Amino acid sequence: MFDGVGWAAGEIVWFMILASLVGLAIGWIFGRWLQRSAIAAAYEAELVAQEELARKAEHRLIESNNTLDKLQYQLRNESEKVGELESQLRVAEEAIADLDAALAAAGGSDEAFSQMQAARDEARAEIAELRGRLAHHASTIEEREFTLDHLQTRLSAAERSAVDLEGRLVAAERRASVIPELQTDLERRNAEYLRMSERLGEFESEVEFGRARVRSLEADLGAAQEVAAVVPSLRAELDEAIAERKDLLKAVAGLEGDLETAQARADQLEVELAAIPKPPPTRDEAIAGMAEIAARTRGDTPVRDDDLKRIHGIGPKLEQTLKGLGITSFRQVANFEPDDIVIVSTAIGAFKGRIERDDWIAGAAEEHQKEYNEPA
């Protein structure tokens, strides 16, 4: 009979061990849930930081471009002034040569000779002044060219920084785009955690029930001899407890399987996160990219203002929008690349596939050939 009581106490110990294991499993799942929440918050914070850096880099790039345009305009003005001074200098030198020739032909010391000498000296003084001004403007041009080279170097560095920030921003947006899926997975894991907590409560109730049985057996220990007839029934109860323990073991095995399935799903989510394609550009991004497309498709040719409405599918409103974004000629439309079509469609708000359906590229090439008798 004492052996039966000890065996029941052993069963209770088994229940307590199982309850501890289940508690550890639930704690591990809860830790994973908190870790996923922290990752989602970090992705969102990183996205905000990258967008702020991109805005600052874009602002600096615009300021550098404005400064560069002003310097180029000033440099052109200085160059024009130098050309004018050189022209005046040539005229003055020709006048001195004519005066020298006239002096050589006149000879003597009469009043006309003196006047011609004075005119020659005045012309030479004017030449000296023109040469001084020319040297001043040449020095100014050298300074402006040095400043221009310095700004172009800074502009190149800013553009590289902007490209790097854009790449980092795209990567952050790609990671942030899976946050809803991670949140859904976290909600599912939270529900699993709640279910396991309920099951843990049931296990604790069973453990408490077992302890109560042990206390009852200890209270009846003095009268064990008299109740020896009830030993078979106690054996049956113990067998039932063994069966319950087996069921609990199966339940724990099921929970371990659930944990393995959850881990496999987490690994799969990470793989899917890495395989998410690059999202299409927003309208603001597309409008910002139109300047590069306009410059590249125009090439080294002069800016032309063609009648884009001659292209099938382009009406007055679309023509006005395209020209406002820098697309003004048949050549530019004919030189669109596949990636440009996505950006242009987003920037002008056209329906998806409209440019390909109306075949703007072929139409623009044909109109350019008609207008200028040359291939686009």
Rg (CA), the chain: 44
pLDDT tens digits in sequence order for the chain, 376 residues long: 545 556 656 666 676 677 677 667 667 766 766 676 676 677 678 767 777 876 886 777 687 678 767 867 877 887 788 788 778 878 877 877 877 777 777 655 567 667 777 877 887 887 888 788 878 877 887 887 787 688 678 768 767 876 776 787 677 667 667 667 767 876 887 787 688 778 767 867 876 886 787 687 778 767 756 766 776 887 888 788 788 888 878 877 887 888 788 788 878 877 776 566 557 788 899 999 999 999 999 988 888 999 999 999 999 999 999 999 999 999 999 999 999 999 999 999 877 889 999 999 999 999 999 999 999 8
For residue 359, report the phi and psi dihedrals to the nearest 5 degrees: 55, 60
Residue 53 · residue 172 · CB < 8 Å: no
Q: Is the dihedral of CA 103, 105, 110, 116 positive or negative?
A: negative
Q: How far apart are CA 254 and CA 258, in angstroms?
A: 6
Kindly report the length of the chain.
376
Q: Tokens for 38?
A: 């922290």
- Identity of the residue numbered 78: E
DSSP state letter for 328: -
Entry pTM: 0.30
Q: First CA to last CA across the chain, in angstroms?
A: 104
| 235/160 Cα distance (integer angstroms) | 82
Judge whether 179 and 102 are in contact, CB under 8 Å.
Answer: no
- Mention every residue, 6+ apart, whose C-beta is less than 8 A from residue 23: 200
Nearest by Cα to 82 from 122, 140, 123: 140
Q: Which domains does the chain have, with CATH numbers?
A: 1-279 (1.10.287), 283-372 (no CATH)
> How far, CA to CA in Å, does 6 sit from each of 2, 211, 238, 242, 295?
6, 12, 11, 14, 90
Q: Which helix (H) or strand (E) holds 290?
A: helix 283-298
Helix 338-348 / helix 316-324 crossing angle, nearest 10 deg: 110
- Measured in whole angstroms, how far is the alpha carbon of residue 16 from the centre of its chain? 53
